[in-house]
Chain A
Amino acid sequence: MTEVALQAVDLVRRIEGDVSHTLVNGIDLAVNKGEFVAITGPSGSGKSSLLYLLGLLDAPSEGEIMICGQPTSKLSESERADVRLTKCGFVFQFHFLLPEFTSLDNVLLPMRAAGVMAEGAMRERGLALLGSLGLAEHANKRPNQLSGGQRQRVAIARALANRPEIIVADEPTGALDTKSTEQVFSILRDIADNGQTVIVVTHDPALAARADRRVHIVDGKIAEITERGGAELVSPSIAPCEISHA
């Protein structure tokens, strides 16, 4: 029996206001530890919105997210921040590195914010992470001295800094060339193979095919789930409201 790292139960995210909008409309999803899940779907289908919810960056209007079995819907904003700090790692299309700091300092940021490790141990881990992503000689460069692919790898190293349970990545290769895209995906694949859970939003079907599972979203609902090897678990012909709460 595989361990469930993250479970979403009937997730709904609504925006109230002048233009009320349902971004995520009743999603049930369980992701196992060490699993690599790709989320695909047309633009505006709610992929990013779902990812923000899964990474506790945003709070659902309804439903529950359990991280390692812990419910999170009752947590306050700062308690969710604490969970993010240690349990979730984020990678976005834009790298969001602090421009005045070196690669190493950027990677050290989450560790320093958590403040549990000694400075020496943090640096050691930071350098090891950068080294494992092929950035050993770029540790002391600032973001504007790096290529797009290198920046994105620094961002991945930063996401991994506190050994989070779950890595969520929103189109991490969206702005990269083919070679860098390949590199970043191999890294994410390796992370999952090492036992961390990876959830990545991508537009690239070839890349999505390399995930353990592909979740296709349309209009804020799961339209289709495909296991690696091609087995279709949910057929698009089934109306979304009838999707079983597996």
Chain B
Amino acid sequence: MKLIFNIAWTHVSTRVRQTLVGMAGVSMGVGFTIMMAGLMQGSQLDFLRQLVDTMPHITIEDERRSVPTQPAEQEYGAVQMADIANVSKRPGIKYPETVMNSLRSWIPGDVAPSAKTTAIINHGGARIGITLTGIDPRREVQVSKLASQMREGKIDDLSRAPNGIIMGEALAEKLGVKAGDTVLLIGGQGIQLNSTVAGLYRSGMKRVDESQIYSLMGPAQVMMGQNGVVNQLRLRLNDPMLAQKVAAQVEAQTGYKSVSWQEANADLLSSFTVRDFIVLTVMGAMLLTSSFATYNIISTITHEKRQDIAIMKSLGMREYAVRRIFIIEAAIIGIVGILFGWVLGYLLCYGWSKITIFSPLTGTTTPISIHYSAMHYVVVGAISLLCCAGAAYFPARKATRVHPVEIIRGAS
């Protein structure tokens, strides 16, 4: 083994230029792949973080996923009812406080009630459909980041202004209103309410900022025409990744439709999957391409070393031992290349993280978010090493398979 390593080392160390080219190839492949992984996961996590911060992790609605079984069905096995509208006669979650208390006892997080309805906001001729969510300011802080997203005013200001509402900056801009202005809300049943803009927030999600308005429970219930109704419970979990599991448990316990943030954003998340697939393919191709330099070098060396291979085999060295020489050479090139690639990858990521971009959407300048993960380095390194080994294996196998007699005859 020492002998094999010795020969391998001699081959690569006497070909400095070629070896360096090979190492540079591997380094660049590894470096850029790590950079891409960091950028991709960074932006993805950034987006998810925003999503998770902005949205309740689980929303419990006052509806059921399927039509409840009818009394006749419960009574008689043969009866099956069809075409029943999935509408409960009375809106709202029954005994919301009891449900919340029972949930609080086991969910790893907190829960708050809200009253959600749709309305039209009318100001200076502009009419925009919005979602109005009535909240309880004291409990709201437990389940949302709204408090930290406030740009003007505080959540508590809701109770100070008459029929106070908090709207997204984006919507305020669209309507041309400022804090303190009065707007008209028109509910589904024609109920009208003069509201004061008590504060402005920005979640960073355009979709939310342009359509989500908060008020106290009272005004929202008035707009619904249902006094005292709580039609939504919103949950915040310590670990947002548990949302799907917890949502299923909540639904099983309460019978109400419980939607995790993942389910609510399934379309977005599935677009991530496609993006992941594309990026992973590109990264794999990059690593594969970067090992071509190694392939080239090992091909050249095995070709130049045909006589050495022949004599080693004729002296009695086994074929696989001779082949291993070239695999080790590729490994040397690969390992050194990967080490430099790691450094390069880190520097590239660091460089990117220093670049800030201006987002016309949010109007802020934020640094590009990079996700640093040891896993990237390990996985990219391992794949690259594998590519190098493969790149060496085939030319090495071809060269060491040759019968020594063929070469000895040719040289004599």
- Within 8 Å CB of A90, what residues of B? 314-315
- Within 8 Å CB of B313, what residues of A? 81
Residue of B nearest to A53 (CB): B405
Given A85-B315, A100-B14, answer yes or no on A94-B7 (Cβ-Cβ < 8 Å): no
Is B300's CB within 8 Å of the partner chain A?
no
Residue of A nearest to B2 (CB): A112
Number of interface residues of A (CB under 8 A): 32
Residue from B10, B14, B314, B315 whose CB has the most chain A CB atoms within 10 Å: B315
Can you list 28 A-B contacts (CB < 8 A)?
A52-B408, A57-B404, A57-B408, A81-B316, A81-B317, A81-B319, A82-B316, A82-B318, A86-B316, A88-B316, A92-B411, A92-B412, A93-B412, A94-B408, A94-B411, A96-B307, A96-B314, A96-B408, A98-B311, A100-B10, A110-B316, A112-B2, A112-B3, A113-B315, A113-B316, A115-B3, A171-B412, A174-B412
Is B310's CB within 8 Å of the partner chain A?
yes
Using a CB–CB cutoff of 8 Å, the interface residues on chain A facing chain B are 48, 52, 57-58, 77-78, 81-86, 88, 90, 92-94, 96, 98-101, 109-110, 112-115, 158, 170-171, 174
Q: How far is the CA of A174 from the CA of B316 in the complex (A)?
A: 24
Q: Across the interface, do B411 and A96 meet the contact criterion of CB distance under 8 Å?
A: yes
- Within 8 Å CB of A58, what residues of B? 403, 405
Q: Across the interface, do A170 and B412 meet the contact criterion of CB distance under 8 Å?
A: yes
A80 to chain B, nearest CB (A): 9
- Within 8 Å CB of B408, what residues of A? 52, 57, 92, 94, 96
Contact with A along B315-353 (1 / 0, CB 8 A): 111110100000000000000000000000000000000
Q: Across the interface, do A109 and B3 meet the contact criterion of CB distance under 8 Å?
A: yes
Q: Residue B315 contacts which of A77, A94, A99, A109 (CB distance < 8 angstroms)?
A: A109
- Within 8 Å CB of A85, what residues of B? 315-317
Given A78-B318, A78-B319, A109-B3, answer yes or no on A96-B311 (Cβ-Cβ < 8 Å): yes
Residue of B nearest to A89 (CB): B315
Q: Across the interface, do B14 and A110 meet the contact criterion of CB distance under 8 Å?
A: no
- Within 8 Å CB of A96, what residues of B? 307-308, 310-311, 314, 408, 411
Using a CB–CB cutoff of 8 Å, the interface residues on chain B facing chain A are 2-3, 7, 10-11, 14, 307-308, 310-319, 321, 403-405, 408-409, 411-412
Q: Besides A90-B315, A158-B315, A170-B412, 10 other CB < 8 A contacts?
A: A57-B405, A58-B405, A77-B319, A84-B314, A93-B412, A94-B411, A96-B307, A98-B7, A98-B308, A112-B3
A24 to chain B, nearest CB (A): 13
CB-based A-B contact count at 8 angstroms:
73
Q: Across the interface, do B11 and A100 meet the contact criterion of CB distance under 8 Å?
A: yes
Residue of A nearest to B305 (CB): A98
- Within 8 Å CB of A109, what residues of B? 3, 312, 315
Q: How far is the CA of A117 from the CA of B14 in the complex (A)?
A: 28
Q: How far is the CA of A110 from the CA of B313 in the complex (A)?
A: 10
Q: How far is the CA of A71 from the CA of B412 in the complex (A)?
A: 29
Q: Residue A84 contacts which of B307, B316, B403 (CB distance < 8 angstroms)?
A: B316
Residue of A nearest to B403 (CB): A58
B220 to chain A, nearest CB (A): 83
Q: How far is the CA of A58 from the CA of B310 in the complex (A)?
A: 13
Q: Across the interface, do A52 and B315 meet the contact criterion of CB distance under 8 Å?
A: no
Q: How far is the CA of A235 from the CA of B54 in the complex (A)?
A: 105
What are the 5 tightest A-B residue pairs by CB atom distance, in nearest-first order?
A85-B316, A84-B316, A96-B311, A112-B3, A100-B10
Residue of B nearest to A174 (CB): B412
Q: Residue B314 contacts which of A57, A83, A86, A115 (CB distance < 8 angstroms)?
A: A57
- Within 8 Å CB of B315, what residues of A? 84-85, 90, 109-110, 113, 158
Residue of B nearest to A101 (CB): B10
- Within 8 Å CB of B403, what residues of A? 58
Residue of B nearest to A87 (CB): B316
